[in-house]
Amino acid sequence: MITLQGKGVSDGIALGKLTFLERTHFSVEKRTITDVPAEVERFNAARETAAAQLEELSRTMAEKIGKENALLFDIHSMMLSDPDFFEPMIGIIENQKICAEYAVMEAGSALAQDFADMDDDYMKERAADVRDVANRVVAILSGTWMDVSAGSDPVILAADDFSPSETVQFDRSKVLALVSRAGAANSHTAIFARTMGIPAIIGFGSSLSAGLAGVNAAVDGGTGVLCIDPGPAVIEEFQKKHELLEEEKQAMEKYRGRETLTKSGKKIQLFANIGSVTDVEAAILGDAEGIGLFRSEFLYLGREDYPGEEEQYETYKRVLELMKGKQVIIRTMDIGADKQAAYFGLPGEENPALGMRAIRICLTRPELFKTQLRAIYRASSFGNAAIMFPMICSVAELLRAKAILKEVRNELQVQGIAFNEKVPVGIMIETPAAAIISDLLAKEADFFSIGTNDLTQYTLAIDRQNDLLSEFCDIHHEAILRLIKLSCDNAHNAGIPIGICGSLGADKTLTQFFIETGIDELSVEPSCVLPLRKVIAKL
């Protein structure tokens, strides 16, 4: 028996024959062209065909995996009409006078690499979506669409990687598990695998060789273990674990659709953190009671220019509509530090985490700030929106931000544009300064949300991006817990609610402390909602 270790991204056990995915491949040759306008027209026609395919795929997948899960293909379709996507392709055709297939592959690969090189994990994982859309257009241009086959018998399916389009089209009865050499934990492929209940492991690298095809294997999607040619004892162990997982899954489902209550009846709001429209699907599937943190800065990343008011408005509107009256807390852009966008033209800094970021950019570039606020207010007519300012360190900063908010409201009223005039306005507590003066800030805010990731690094003076300091980073440090308690007391003394949207919110070793401290809301990654509800119900 051979044991290979990867990274589990979708829990579950599978036993079966290992089979490598058979794709209909297409090759792209660099051909010189003479009729440039005709080639551009051929490219645009392929884009239209791709959009039509994605529209049909979205309809089909909505029936198969739910409307929210099919949203990705709407986003892929929107990508086809995004100038950042297609203009570089047209530029290569016109400037280099080469065929559309090669131009799409070249420009698509470059854009995907731009995403893959980003510091933010969420943006890194969008590279797969860019490749998926580019491959679709190339396949249409070359007349060889990517047909995928998992065979006729149920198998453990292996490949270099799986695209989102491939994953959702697999016949669940024929695919026992997915294993790949590459991949990302929060890619749409991984999300779809979890949605469809397919165990999945990524990151095997070259150890997952084609020479293993046809061999019996055992998959543990939770631990990331792949056993090649397992013996009877190992098979029995995996089967027992499968039975236990199924029992746990059924037990977890008992908490779906229920309020989050402790044994004594204390109500806790259990929300989800998201970064895009497509993440709403995970929040809904996870049974979140609302969105406690919509990271709006992702609208600004991975592009060449600022998103306009209309683009932002449509995004916020869509999220609010999908959440159907549940609260959506939209954090204004937290650009800077580890989230850089070159077109902002921010100066080079010795320590970006202590520099120009978040609300500081908004207050020094009010027109940019007002564009986002106008979009949020306009969208507020379509759901239960709240606005949250990041990195507030003083009452003066909060008052300046609220003054700009008032200007935006006045402008919209004069223009006769509908919006909800009672949108709650809160702040993040993510610096020791904000926690220490939280009694003063509470007089000017409708709610608090504690960003524990930044609060930890600023309290301990430890860069959270520096792996060398991990042994010194005590996320349960007494100073952090005291600042959380202080903020909570001051919020309640002022009669406003307080939540946690940082990673500590999902730390089950602190759940009892948060409830005893008086935290009203926890906002976590969507997959953590049901497990956390189960824990809270037993406290």
Q: Which residues are annotated as a binding site for phosphoenolpyruvate?
A: 295, 331, 453-454, 464
Three-state secondary structure call for residue 169: helix
Using left for φ > 0, alpha for ψ between -120 and 50, and beta otherwise, residue 314 falls in alpha
Binding residues: 295, 331, 430, 453-454, 464
Catalytic residue set? 188, 501
Binding residues for Mg(2+): 430, 454
Q: Could you tell me if 144 and 27 are in contact, meaning their C-beta atoms sit under 8 angstroms apart?
A: no
Tokens standing for residue 79: 């990508």
The kind and range of the H/E element at 405 are: helix 395-414
CA R_g for the chain: 25
Q: What is d(CA 385, CA 116) in angstroms, rounded to the nearest whole number?
A: 32
Q: Kindly give, in sequence order, each residue whose CB lies less than 8 Å from that of residue 500, ignoring residues fewer than 6 positions away.
A: 449, 450, 452, 484, 514, 519, 521, 522, 523
* Main-chain dihedrals φ then ψ at residue 162, nearest 5 degrees: -120, 135
Q: What is d(CA 274, CA 420) in angstroms, rounded to the nearest whole number?
A: 22
Burial string for 402-422 (b: 16+ CB within 10 Å, else e) reads: eebbeebbeebeeeeeebeee
Q: What is d(CA 2, CA 67) in angstroms, rounded to the nearest whole number?
A: 41
3-state helix, strand, coil split of the chain in percent (to 5) is 50, 15, 35
Looking at the DSSP bridge assignments, the partners of residue 294 are: 274, 330
Looking at the DSSP bridge assignments, the partners of residue 291 are: 272, 328
Q: For 140-195, where are the E strands, in sequence order?
A: 148-149, 155-159, 175-180
